[in-house]
């Protein structure tokens, strides 16, 4: 858990916060998805930070004064859908 907290999470935050290329951002969001689904109970603070970042990406306000490409919003929405959908009740 210490490796995830001290090395992986800061690297992922940096990758998602900066203006990175599509392949790097895609891989980073896949790792965030796995982290949220498998380790959110053990890393609640990190999960909260990633969820807030994803919400800001979906809302288009990740970095004030800087616009994000549309594909970054779509990636964030896919992560949110995959993380929230298992917890929804069937109709």
pTM of the model: 0.80
Helix, strand or coil, per DSSP, at residue 77: helix
pLDDT digits (tens, 9 = 90+) for 47-78: 999 999 888 888 876 556 667 788 888 999 99
pLDDT for the residue numbered 86:
64
Q: How far apart are CA 16 and CA 89, in angstroms?
A: 30
| pLDDT at residue 30 greater than cutoff 90 | yes
Percent of the chain with pLDDT over 90: 26
Structure tokens at 60: 């288009």
pLDDT for the residue numbered 91:
57
Task: Find all residues with CB under 8 Å of 29, minimum gap 6, and list them.
Answer: 16, 75, 76, 78, 79
Q: How far apart are CA 55 and CA 76, in angstroms?
A: 8
Q: How far apart are CA 23 and CA 30, in angstroms?
A: 11
């Amino acid at each position: 858990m210490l490796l995830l907290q001290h090395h992986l999470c800061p690297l992922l935050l940096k990758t998602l916060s900066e203006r990175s290329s599509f392949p790097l951002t895609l891989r980073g969001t896949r790792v965030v998805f796995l982290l949220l689904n498998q380790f959110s109970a053990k890393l609640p603070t990190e999960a909260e930070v990633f969820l807030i970042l994803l919400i800001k990406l979906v809302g288009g306000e990740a970095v004030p004064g800087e616009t994000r490409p549309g594909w970054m919003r779509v990636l964030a929405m896919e992560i949110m859908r995959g993380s929230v959908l298992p917890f929804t009740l069937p109709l």
